Amino acid sequence: MASRCWPSDAELNELRERVSKIGDLNKEEVRVVVSPYRICPLGAHIDHQGGIVSAMTINMGVLLGFAPSGSNQVVIRSGQFEGEVKFRVDEIQKPKDKNLDKDSSELQEQCNWGRYARGAVYALKSSGNILSKGIIGYICGSEGLDSSGLSSSAATKDYKLIYQPKVLEYNESGQPKATRILLALSGLKQALTNNPGYNKRVVECREAAQILLEASGDYTTEPILSNVDPEVYDTHKHKLEPNLAKRAEHYFSENMRVMKGVEAWAMGNLKDFGMLITASGRSSIQNYECGCEPLIQLYEILLRAPGVLGARFSGAGFRGCCLAFVEADLATEAASFVRREYLKVQPELASQISKDTAVLICESGDCARVI
């Protein structure tokens, strides 16, 4: 299976053309920010507790073509969302006030997605940067993935890179020679902030941490599960009521799966890596108790698909998307299988997704960069 180059020369050329037309510029003046989407194969629901996660970029993402505006004005248009964002870099930016009058100038803006650009300016200024010039830009994402539920932990306290061995080092060991990543969309697009399940789980994890810490005589440490030693958990977990016990069990078992998964990846043991991903998905359902019928059905279908090594929910697991690692030479067959079987169990949701983007085949990508 041939690798898909992203971004392609055609995508870059089209982006530069659009920016040059918006600002009446030469294409040579336009630069492009390449920001790949991320997935999190292991580490579900533990980042907010200080847990470790595994993450990787894929060869799909968001592109921002831009050039200096020649003034303090920012002008940005989108390939996915309507409206034009306009504001000045010398305007005072501040976090959104929930009590803001609906007739205010900010909410009169043609599109709410402009808050992300304003937020970027706010963050830069808050870090001590002095901004005097704006940009003219055009932003677009890979087709089919906006509002899909694909997301990944953005935890960045510290990190290290884990390289997978070259194929020649392990292709005689019975392991797959190469893998691809399947992104299977459920058609659910409910916003995370509208689902009380996520916030409730965070609170439950903190409650479990507080009980465990206090049981060990610690009344001062911040109550997050990463501050609870595994020995303390093993000694006092019987004091947790059933729901809190499940949340804590998910945290500690998932943290262990991440460590084992990183080792398996580094050794080229993709079968074990896949089994850990599947176990992560099962714990998300049984212990963290996230997901819903369509997502759980999609997860189970992926596990039956040819060549799939492991699967789980992507993102928070309350909407959207599942991911799977699959043997590269069976990826197309697996994708067809998943589309066909999901249509049988969720015909209404499946019919809302384009056949071309219902199950996407991708592979690990490069880092964010400017070209």
42-81 pLDDT tens trace? 999 999 999 999 999 999 999 999 999 989 999 999 998 8
Buried b (16+ CB within 10 A) or exposed e, 155-170: beeeeeeeebeeeeeb
CA distance 261 to 253: 12
Which tens digit of pLDDT belongs to each residue from 153-191?
656 778 888 887 665 445 556 777 789 999 999 998 765
Pairing of strands 308-313, 84-88: unpaired
Q: Give 310-357 as a DSSP string.
A: EEEE-TTSSSSEEEEEEEGGGHHHHHHHHHHHHHHH-HHHHHTS-TTT
The token duo for 40 is 């999190």
CA distance 34 to 64: 7
Bridge partners, residue 297, by sequence: none
CA distance 27 to 16: 5
pTM above 0.85, yes or no: yes
DSSP H helices, 161-292, are: 196-215, 230-236, 242-267, 270-286
Which residue do the tokens 């053309």 mark?
A: 17
CA distance 311 to 334: 12
Which tens digit of pLDDT belongs to each residue from 196-206?
688 899 999 99
Which tens digit of pLDDT belongs to each residue from 106-141?
444 456 888 889 999 999 999 999 999 999 999 999
DSSP annotation of 68 reads: E
Residue 312 has pLDDT above 80, yes or no: yes
Ramachandran area for residue 187 (φ above 0: left; ψ -120 to 50: alpha; else beta): left
DSSP annotation of 369 reads: E
DSSP annotation of 64 reads: E
pLDDT in the model for residue 277: 98
